[in-house]
Every structure is written in structure tokens, then in C-alpha cells.
Copies of this chain bind each other. A is one copy, B any other.
Amino acid sequence: MPHGTLETRLNHQDVALTREPIDAKALLSAVTDVTAGGSVLFVGSTRSQTAGAMTTCLTYEAHEPLARAVLAALVAEARERFALVGCGVVHRLGEVAAGEASIAVAASAPHRKEAFAATEWLMDRIKRDVPIWKCEHSPDGSRTWVHGDMPPNTSGRAAEVMTHP
């Protein structure tokens, strides 16, 4: 994934929503080339125990077109902000069993600090702004949709980019 103009970088090739298990290794390979000195891969997983309650599985649902657009804008912003060589995000939807990955984010840069900073920045932004929701399913059959206190940010750089395609 070479550098390019903002327009060419604001594409959906770097982001994916999938109902299959995430291939994190493929994502890491896709974002790396010989100009990269450091690559960081983050994999987020369903824990078997959350806040003391056993969780048998999670399901995720998304506003898919909006989620893809926001993810693409965040990846484009990360590329520019951290001068990345490559960057990509895959989020899983549907049922995710305990121990399986719900998200993978990868970033590569000439130096490691930028790769770490970009990956953490993306995770923070994704957890705030991307319209994907988690539902926790308990062994007793009950389910709980998880919602934080703050709405997603709709006025940031990502929103601006999207309104001027």
C-alpha cells in the first residue's frame, strides 16, 4: 500500500467487515513493504470473562456502509498524521466465540514509534466513532447490548473528509 494523494488513499481496500474469522497475518503482510522499519498488529479478542460475568459469545452488528466509510476516513487520516507506509483494519461481525478475534488493526512506518502511535490512535478512534455494536450473550440466555456514555464524534476530521469526496 504505497503513499498517494488523499483521494487515492481514501479507499475501502484498507478496511473490511467480515463474518469469517479474521486473517491477521494477511493484514500484517498487506500493510508492510521494504520501506517499513516497524509494523504493529493489534488483535482484539472476546474474553471469556468480562466484568466478572461469564460471556459465552459476543455478537457484533454494524451500520455497514457508514462503518466502512468512517473506517476508511480514519485509516486515511492515520496514514497522513503518522506518515505511515501502510495501514489497515478488519472488524468481524456476527457471532464471535470466546478467544476469537473481533478486530485486527495493522500499521507500518519507517520507525516503530509511529507504527505504535498510529495503531493505538486508530483503536481509540474506532472504539469512539465507528458504528459497530457489541452484544454480550450469557450462559443463561440473556443478552446485553453494550453502549458507552458518549455518542460518536460526528464533527471531526473524518466527517469532513467524508463530506468532500
- As for how many copies of this chain the complex holds, the number is 2
Number of residues on chain A facing chain B (CB within 8 A):
29
Segment among A33-41, A60-68, A135-143 that sits at the interface with chain B: A33-41
Q: Decide: B33 and A43 in contact? CB cutoff 8 A.
A: no
**Nearest neighbor of A39 in chain B, beta-carbon distance:** B43
Residue A25 CB within 8 A of the other chain: yes
Residue A110 CB within 8 A of the other chain: yes
Segment among A2-10, A87-95, A112-120, A156-164 that sits at the interface with chain B: A112-120
Given A25-B25, A33-B99, A116-B120: A38 touches B49 (CB 8 Å cut-off): no
Which B residues touch A33, using CB under 8 A?
A: 99
Residue A16 CB within 8 A of the other chain: no
Residue A24 CB within 8 A of the other chain: yes
Q: Decide: B24 and A28 in contact? CB cutoff 8 A.
A: yes
Residue A98 CB within 8 A of the other chain: yes
Q: Decide: A39 and B42 in contact? CB cutoff 8 A.
A: yes
Residue A18 CB within 8 A of the other chain: no
Q: Decide: B34 and A48 in contact? CB cutoff 8 A.
A: yes
**Nearest neighbor of A101 in chain B, beta-carbon distance:** B39
Residue A44 CB within 8 A of the other chain: yes
Instruction: State the Cβ distance, A148 to closest chain B Cβ, in Å.
Output: 15
**Nearest neighbor of A49 in chain B, beta-carbon distance:** B35
CA distance A61 to B163 in the complex (A): 53
The 8 A-B pairs with the shortest beta carbon distances in the complex, nearest first, are: A34-B99, A41-B41, A34-B48, A25-B25, A39-B43, A37-B47, A34-B98, A116-B120
